[in-house]
A and B are shown apart, each in its own frame.
Chain A
Amino acid sequence: MQIFDQTLHARLFLGTAQYPSPEILQRAIEAARPGLITVSLRRESAAGHGQKFWDLIKNTGIPVLPNTAGCHSAAEAVTTAQMAREIFETDWIKLEVIGDDYMLQPDPFGLIDAAEKLNALGFTVFPYMTEDLVLAQRLVDAGCKILMPWGAPIGSGRGLNNPYALKLLRQRFPQQIMVVDAGLGAPSHAAAAMELGYDAVLVNTAVAKAGDPVAMARGFAQAVAAGRAGYEAGIIAPQDNATPSTPLIDRPFWHQAKGG
């Protein structure tokens, strides 16, 4: 898929947190072959723990999407984004402004404030948002060309909590690049998002905390590809009555045994 001047080789975006080990993270990346990898920033001690991780990610050759995880205000998010831009050498930023710590629910007001500032500073903003239609419009008004509604709260594994609203959003914003971000648990959730016409899905916990993260990474990659293929192929409309799939004309004994 194409995001502005950059070609991404897959529609699965993969987070890098919470894996049992760096080795399993690396193998999961190899298995998933994601189009984009998400990363973050933390306070660094002079021991330099973050440097090895960054080497591992750089060696994959896959583009990165830094996030502003943990930010609770537009000001924090803007400073974090600027630091991320310098470190990761990308204008892309996954904008997280959290409004509720229990649900890790995005703060829609802080999000719009931060999105306006970051767009003015030349960032390409990937806003992590609720599935609210008006919020989406305000983010587009603020200059966002990408929208990332949640499927469900981060790490909850619930899948698509509100498929009706997600479907509506997709229909109302056909020009935007749209990614379902967060809350997915099973590969089928990813396939469902792709079948709705979303351009990509972003998954972390469902892979990292799976019994076998490497196998789950592969499963999500296959589900994303399958869901996208279904969307592109044109899914039939559901109906209430049966329609025979096997042609019954000229079938021997057809209706001859009635009553017998």
Chain B
Amino acid sequence: MITITINGHSKTFPAALDIAALLAQEGYAGMTVAVARNGTFVPKAKQSQTAVQNGDTIDIVAPMQGG
């Protein structure tokens, strides 16, 4: 069992998983989003090879209005 922080909210998963699986499981499939793990950018091409580990902080961002 691992506990991670996704966009500021703590969440527990039964088993280790990679970032691509995490995105699918959390409902982000097909959406325009980018991901950082522990403050470091994880490119799309590396999401399925990047494991999420216990205690990780994951940020999932999308386009928003800006000045």
Contact = CB atoms under 8 A, between A and B. Distances in A.
Contacts of B40: 79
B33 interface: yes
Contacts of B7: 43-45
Nearest to A52: B63
B43 interface: yes
- Counting chain B CB atoms within 10 Å of each CB, the highest count among A39, A43, A182 belongs to A43
A79 B41 contact: yes
B63 A88 contact: yes
Interface residues of A, number: 40
Given A39-B65, A50-B64, A53-B65, A82 B41 contact: yes
B67 A86 contact: no
Contact of A41 (B31, B39, B62, B67): B62
A124 interface: no
Nearest to A94: B66
Contacts, number: 105
A83 B36 contact: yes
Contacts of B34: 41, 82-84, 86-87
Interface residues of B, number: 25
Nearest to B38: A79
Contacts of A16: 65-67
Nearest to A182: B67
Nearest to B23: A46
Given A42-B61, A75-B39, A66 B66 contact: yes
Nearest to A16: B65
Chain A residues touching B, majority SS: mixed
- Counting chain A CB atoms within 10 Å of each CB, the highest count among B27, B34, B64, B66 belongs to B66
Interface string B27-67: 11001111110011101100000000000000111111111
- Counting chain B CB atoms within 10 Å of each CB, the highest count among A39, A42, A80, A204 belongs to A42
A117 B64 CA distance: 24
30 contacts: A15-B67, A16-B65, A38-B67, A39-B65, A40-B65, A40-B67, A41-B63, A42-B61, A43-B59, A44-B33, A44-B60, A44-B61, A46-B27, A48-B62, A51-B63, A57-B63, A66-B66, A67-B66, A67-B67, A69-B67, A80-B61, A82-B34, A83-B35, A84-B34, A86-B41, A86-B43, A87-B63, A154-B67, A202-B67, A205-B67
Interface of A: 15-19, 25, 38-46, 48-51, 53-54, 57, 66-67, 69, 75-76, 79-80, 82-84, 86-88, 154, 182, 202, 204-205
